[in-house]
Amino acid sequence: MHIIKLSATDSTNSYLRNKSLKELVQDYTVIVTDHQTKGRGQMGTKWNSQAGKNLVFSVFKDVRSLCIEYPFYLSMITSLSIKSVLKKINVPNIRIKWPNDIMSDNKKICGVLIENVYKKNKLNSSIIGIGLNVNQTQFTELPQASSLKLQTGVHFNSTELLIMILDELKINFSLYDNGHLQDIKKEYETNLFSIDKASKFKSAHGNMFSGYIKGIADSGKLKILTEGREIKEFDLKEVQLLY
């Protein structure tokens, strides 16, 4: 494990990806920063984080030996690793909002952005970016956001949390490497936000509809039981779960 700490950078994912293109980067190399100026989220959204208050980092994962047929397992592994750590420190009501937002009491406290690197049409490595709201207590114009401190009343040490998450990542990647794919998927589905509950969704065309989340496919597509009593699969670009 090689941890590189930066006082500030535009994006830890971009920094680590550029580094990996220029030189050989060892497995579990980590870029962590106190301040990320151009953080990115899913679907091109921005990730805003108050300097020095949160845990913002990216992990380089060499996946050449894992024979990953379905890259979404990387999201499942990452989400479950974060969930395990937050459960250990008594953060209440942790759920995973598909694909990989981490929720506490219906509030988003952590976001994940995974960028995969392919070589010769084969998955070679992944940059796993994690933004965890730790000690920030004000979220202007973000009513659905919260932090560990707001959820628990406790001030946390970000470095300790970083090490705990990295340890859990190693455990869960080991489970994958040893063939426990269905165990990983079952655990992920068990912890899905709003699973088996009446929910509202918005399609890519802006249409609203109701349904029930029933799980996910190996590909990562969300399975929704629609009003027509038909289970349909949607990818990230096709549907949005509304709060």
How much helix, strand and coil, in percent to the nearest 5, is found in the chain? Answer: 25, 35, 40
pLDDT score of 52: 86
CA pair distance 243, 239, nearest whole angstrom = 13
pLDDT score of 43: 47
CATH assignment at residue 214: 2.30.30
Backbone phi, psi, residue 33, to 5°:
-140, 155
* pTM recorded for the entire structure: 0.93
Is 204 found in the same domain as 142? no
**pLDDT per residue rounded down to tens, the chain (243 residues):** 799 999 999 999 999 999 998 999 999 999 999 988 876 555 455 555 788 899 999 999 999 888 788 999 999 999 999 999 999 999 999 999 999 999 999 999 999 999 999 888 889 999 999 999 999 999 988 889 999 999 999 999 999 999 999 999 999 999 999 999 999 999 999 999 999 999 999 999 999 999 999 999 999 999 999 998 999 999 999 999 986
Is 204 found in the same domain as 156? no
- Domain of residue 122: give its range: 2-190
Is 125 found in the same domain as 39? yes
Q: Which residues pair with 234 in a beta bridge?
A: 222
Query: What's the domain count of the chain?
Result: 2
pLDDT score of 122: 87
Is 216 found in the same domain as 185? no
Classify each residue of 97-134 as buried b or exposed e, where b means 16 or more C-beta atoms within 10 Å of its C-beta. Answer: bbbbbbbbeebbbbbbbbeebeeeeebebbbbbbbbbb
Is 102 found in the same domain as 217? no
